Amino acid sequence: MTSLLWLRQDLRLHDHPALTAAAHAGAVIPVYVLDDEAPGAWRMGGAQRWWLHHSLTPLSKSLKEKGSKLILRRGNAAEVLADLATETGAETIHAIRHYEPWWRKLEDALGDRLCLHDGNHLAPPEQVTTGSGGQYRIYSSFWKALQQQLPPDDPLPMPRSIPAPDTWPKSDRLADWNLLPTSPDWSGGFDWTPGEAAALAKVKSLDINDYDTARNMPSQEGSSRLSPHLHFGEVSPRTVWQATGRGDTTFRKELAWRDFTSGVIRALPRYGEENGRPAFDKLPWRTGAEARRDLKAWQQGRTGYPIVDAGMRQLWTTGWMHNRVRMITASFLIKHLLIDWREGERWFWDTLVDADYGNNAVNWQWVAGTGVDANMFGRIMAPLSQSAKFDAGDYIRQWVPELAGLADDVIHDPEGAGCRPRDYPAPLIGHREARERALAAGRKVR
């Protein structure tokens, strides 16, 4: 019997339940479908497309080493897979379950021929539910419930070989998909090595002994930098869990947060577009020419707030941003500039190599205070004091070279210290003024 293996955000051979099941049943035809139709507005962003190209290349090589082959097709995934099943005589389509709303619609469209497997979570969201069977909307309650189902099962081994069909269907050429930037090529600063081998090597070298502290220090390499590998499924969460042993609980809770956000978008599929708290539909976001100017300055890292500008320039250059700085830059856009969180979410979607629908939406709404589990809108991060508190001087020097010559005691706030260089912009707005404006807007929601 021949089966199709539908690959999406699970670009690996190790700990792949759908692959294991398909290989046990008979011949396997691995397929990746580039579907720019079904996601609609959530079509994969530019940075993700760069990663996808460089992830599919080693995956194709790994499959070849196992006696198999990666088939590439483009179009509506449900239609492409249905046609391919008819063409090859495949009776079953094996796949790992996904929770983004467009993937769920495609899964429904494939009907009974699709056999779904769990494999991208510590525990399937369907299993971690409230007493009434609903998804948890408060992370602390979710974490408490999830722990009752931990540790996860041991990862499945990589198959020694993959049964091949007698004949292979035609495949697109990856180069013809034009996933990589052309003119201008903005990916020159991307210092990543996508693919399963790189992901497993990173897991093997993990050091999380000081993670709880180091992850908050922008000038240190305290993050695992596993997020894009996890997003594209080049390594499974339970593989990472097993590798951490009895390590830092904070790190493991970050893995659990990914599971939590999948549960949120399972319950609220439009969470990336709609406020989790409808009362915030009344919040008077700034619009118009001045707001658009400020949004562009934020995107380009020209706000006059060094920690914010360093983060936004790191994002554009590398396709990634330090976790603590993500919160600071998001809070600045929402609270200081009073610009709709969805503008920032969309920018991150296009520029982050690890842009994930659930994570991105839940994190932005957490900062905005508009979500089901979120900070109060009135909690406004102070970027200048946050920069000093987390010792971001060297981080700023790396990404904002105009300030590289400033001393530690003034680099966080050169305007306030009276030593702002001429080639560095003045702050778009003062912190106190921004705070008062945000609080006034928040009062209108109440």
- List residues with catalytic annotation: 254, 257, 285, 323, 341, 364
User: What's the order of all strands across the beta sheet hosting 114-117?
Assistant: 71-74, 27-34, 2-7, 92-96, 114-117
- Give Cα 100 distance to the centre of its chain: 12
Amino acid letter at 87? E
Give the residue among 380, 376, 388, 446 at the shortest CA–CA distance from 416: 388
Distance CA 27, CA 22 (A): 7
Question: What does the alpha-carbon distance between residue 155 and residue 149 come to, in Å, rounded to a whole number?
Answer: 15
Q: Cβ distance 10 to 119 under 8 Å?
A: yes
Q: In a 3-state reduction of DSSP, which class is residue 95?
A: strand
Alpha-carbon 126 to chain mean position: 21
Query: Is the distance from CB of 265 to CB of 100 less than 8 angstroms?
Result: yes
What crossing angle do the helices spanning 289-300 and 306-318 adopt, rounded to 10°? 70
DSSP 2: E
Two structure tokens written together for 33: 């479908």
